[in-house]
Structures are given as structure tokens and as C-alpha cells.
A = this chain, B = another copy of it.
Amino acid sequence: MAGALPRSPLAPQTFPDLPQIDGVTFAVAEAGVRYSGRADVMLAICDPGTSVAGVFTKSATRAAPVLDCQEKLGGSNDAGAAILVNAGNANAFTGRNGIDAVAAIVDATASATGLPSNRVFTASTGVIGEPLPHDRITTHLSDLVARQSADAIADAASAIMTTDTYPKGSTQVVNIGGKAVTIAGIAKGSGMIAPDMATMLVYLFTDAEIAQEELQGLVSAATDRTFNCITVDSDTSTSDTLLVAATGTSGVNVSGNRDFAASLQAVMLDLAHQVVRDGEGATKFVEIEVTGCTDEVAAKTHGLSIANSPLVKTAIAGEDPNWGRVVMAIGKSGAPADRDTLSIWFGESLVAENGWVSPTYREEDAAAHMQNEHIRIRVDCGMGSGNATVWTCDLTHGYIDINADYRS
């Protein structure tokens, strides 16, 4: 984990103006878990009646707070909920000590908020394998409860950052029957980012009224099209957590409402793109659209094979329209492909078709596209109707600088 890094050149101009979500408040504290001189803990509290759904890393070496959260999903929403997150230490691979640390934080949060402990969701992000000094966190809990504010979501977005170079937020408003339903989300993540979630923490809040089971279904489906379609480095974290809390305070029941589902997915996609744009060392945002595959799974497999290829990612860093490496990545993916029905585009340039370079291809056109900050690669497999789009960034000296630094 490196020190202060320059803001990513792909960062959005500004942090969005996130609206209040009725029934949700936030506070942050400087607990000094690892960093000093910045907030590193955030506590969010949701009103009684809040449904909480979530998705988590599939890693076989999941961190203690992830295992704890997974057990608690689906519980009754009568009592509201609390979310407590620290940055700087992942409390992952910390054995019995890690389980004890989660219990200590959950108990202290439950005690300070008056919530039952099965409604306290925690997450930790940062270094793996070091004991979490949980007393540095718990000592701030009564203060965190006392300072809760409906306006502090931006502070929360900053408090959960690790190697992130900017805080990440997104919002949507859906009008349903003349009434507004609001969604606001924050995320962190910049390395150890791969499908099946990543070193990502994502918290979404909405005043929609929706049952926990339906909310879980929506967020799981949207994750497959958003966070599970991005990759920075193919490495999957032990700590990924996405939670969505629906307070119901708008009084609008969104059950079965497609606009709400689409807006929730739009917030998730925006946050997912912001994570890629903060990819360690990234200088290019890369969109890879794969069409014409035998099915959607094959399309996503090809897309991620291209997106994870070090040779493709370094070629993009070098602004080289090296489509031979795209052919290589499709060939190695394991999903069905036919060399002779492949077509490949860089930007608007048809590069290859019928198993060879296109007769209309002019390298200067593709090379000009590669100089953009937003790179678009499209592949059509010519085999069926399965489509997918994935997003990644380039692989640069910056990634090496950040990750070859000794931890201490």
C-alpha cells in the first residue's frame, strides 16, 4: 500500500452532489487504524424498516467481517441497521483474533446504537494478515453515534479509501407514480480488482420500500452486469462487500418496478466505472464489447480474457492498436471461438475480419483512436447472439510503482 498518490488522470472532475436519503445518517472518525491525519472509520445508521441485501467476494480465504455479514443477511428489518467500516487494515487471514475483533466491533456498535448485533454489518479494507487494533475503533463509537448527520455521505466516501486517489459516489432519482425515489451510493477500490467482486466496498442507500428478498435479487442481477464486469488486475480480494440498504421512507413500494431496477443498476455501473478509472496506474479507460458469441457467458469469458491480458493492457498503455494480442486473448480464453469468423474493431476501425486483417484497415485510424483516454475495443465472434461488455484500464509503470513498494 503506497503513500499519497496523485489523483488518477481518469478521475471525474468532481465528486457528485449526493442527496440525503431519508432514514440514513453518517459520521466518520480519525481512529488511526493505520493512517494518520485522515478519517478512516465510518458509521452509517439506517432507520427501523430498512431492508439490507448484499453480495460478497467468492474467495475461499474470505475475511472475518465478510463471513459475519454473510450470516446476517436476510434477517428481520424491524430494528434498522448499522454499517461500520474501517480502512487501513483488512482483518483478513487473522485467525481467531480476526473473529474476536469483528465480535468486539459489532458488540460495541450494537451497544452504542441500541441495535441488535445481528443488524450490525462491518467491513475492513487494507493490509492482510495484521491484527486489527479494534479498540482504536470502538473507542470512537459513542462519538460516531452522537455526530450522525444526514449530510455526511461524502465524508463516508473518503473515510473508506485505501489506495484510491479519489472518493467515489453516484446517485439517481426515479419518479414512480409522481413520487421521487432516491438512490445514493459510495464505493472504494483501485487494486486487487477482478470479477466476482474485488477489493471493493460499495454501499448503496435508497428510500425505496422493497422486501429484502426482492432487493437481494435485484442487486445480485445488477452485480453480474456491473461490478462483476470490471477488472483492474485479475486479482480478487478477500474482503469485497456490497451492501444496499432500502429504508422505505419514501413510502413508495418499488416491487416489480423496472425503472427502479434500472436506476439501481445505473448507480452500480457508474460506481464500477469509477473504480476502474481509479485502477492503480491507469491512464486509459477501456471498454470491451463482445458480441456474436454462442451465449452470454462465452461473451463475458472472452471479454475478461482480453481485459485481463497483460499483453493487451501494456499495448493499450503504449497506444499500440496491437489487435494480434486481442486474437491471442480470445484464443486462450477457453470459450468457443472460430478464428475465421472473428471481427475486431478498435474504435470505429474494422481491423480484422474473415481470419485476417480487413482490406479496408488503415493502421493510422486505429492508432489515432488509441491516443484517446477512452478506448473502445469491439469483437464479434460471428457464432451466435451472446453479448457482454466489460471494462478495464491499461497496465502501466504506475501499477508496478504502487505494488512493488515494500508495505512498510
Q: How many copies does the complex hold?
A: 2
Are the CB atoms of B310 and A235 closer together than 8 Å?
yes
Tell me the complex Cα distance, A399–B403, Å.
14
Please indicate the chain B residues that have their CB under 8 angstroms from the CB of A309 in the complex.
234-235
Docked-complex contact A327 and B400, CB < 8 angstroms = no
Chain B residues, Cβ within 8 Å of A93: 324, 327, 339, 352, 355-356
Q: Given that A323-B129, A325-B128 are contacting pairs, would A97 and B192 also be in contact in the complex, using a CB cutoff of 8 Å? A: no
State in angstroms the CA–CA spacing of A97 and B337 once bound together.
Answer: 20
Residues of B within 8 A of A127 (CB): 324
Which B residues are in CB contact (< 8 Å) with A128? Answer: 324-325, 327-328
Given contacts A92-B327, A128-B327, A339-B93, contact A310 B233 (CB under 8 A): yes
**A237-B328, A310-B310 known; A354 vs B400 contact (CB < 8 Å):** no
Asked if A407 lies at the interface with its beta carbon under 8 angstroms from chain B, I say: yes
Chain B residues with Cβ below 8 Å from A308 are 234
CB-based contact B92/A324 at 8 Å: yes
A385 interface residue per 8 A CB criterion? no
Which residue of chain B lies nearest to A402 when distances are taken between CB atoms in the complex? B314
A contact residues, total (Cβ < 8 Å):
69
Give the shortest distance, in Å, between A278 (CB) and chain B (any CB): 16
233-262 of chain A: CB within 8 A of chain B: 233-238
Shortest CB-to-CB span from A262 to chain B, Å, is 31
Interface residues as binary, A319-357 with B (CB distance below 8 Å gives 1, 0 otherwise): 110111101111111001111101000000000101111
Q: Is the CB of B400 within 8 A of A404?
A: no
* Given known A-B contacts A61-B331, A235-B309, A317 and B355 have beta carbons under 8 A apart: no
Task: Find the B residue at minimum CB distance from A335.
Answer: B60
Q: Is A396 interfacial (CB 8 A cutoff)?
A: yes
Q: Is A315 an interface residue (CB 8 A)?
A: yes
Please provide the chain A residues from 30 to 79 with a CB less than 8 Å away from any CB of chain B in the complex. 57, 59-62
Of A59, A127, A317, A325, chain B has the most CB atoms within 10 Å of the CB of A59
Closest partner residue, chain B, to A57 (CB atom): B331
Interface check A96, CB cutoff 8 A: yes
B397 touches A340 (CB 8 A): no
Q: How far is the CB of A22 from chain B (nearest CB, A)?
A: 38
* Contact of A194 with B by CB under 8 A: yes
- Judge whether B317 and A60 touch: CB under 8 Å: no
Chain B residues closer than 8 Å to A403, beta-carbon distance: 310-311, 314-315, 318
Give a binary string over A79-94; 1 marks a CB under 8 Å from any B CB, 0 the rest.
0000000000010111
21 contacts between A and B (CB under 8 A): A59-B332, A60-B338, A61-B339, A92-B324, A92-B327, A96-B355, A129-B327, A129-B356, A194-B332, A234-B308, A234-B310, A235-B309, A235-B328, A235-B332, A238-B331, A314-B399, A314-B400, A318-B404, A318-B405, A320-B405, A320-B407
A-side interface residues toward B, CB under 8 Å?
57, 59-62, 90, 92-98, 127-130, 191-192, 194, 196, 233-238, 308-311, 314-315, 317-320, 322-325, 327-333, 336-340, 342, 352, 354-357, 395-397, 399-400, 403-407
If A192-B311, A314-B399 are given as contacts, then 4 extra A-B residue pairs at C-beta distance below 8 Å, sorted by A number, are A94-B356, A97-B356, A234-B310, A397-B400
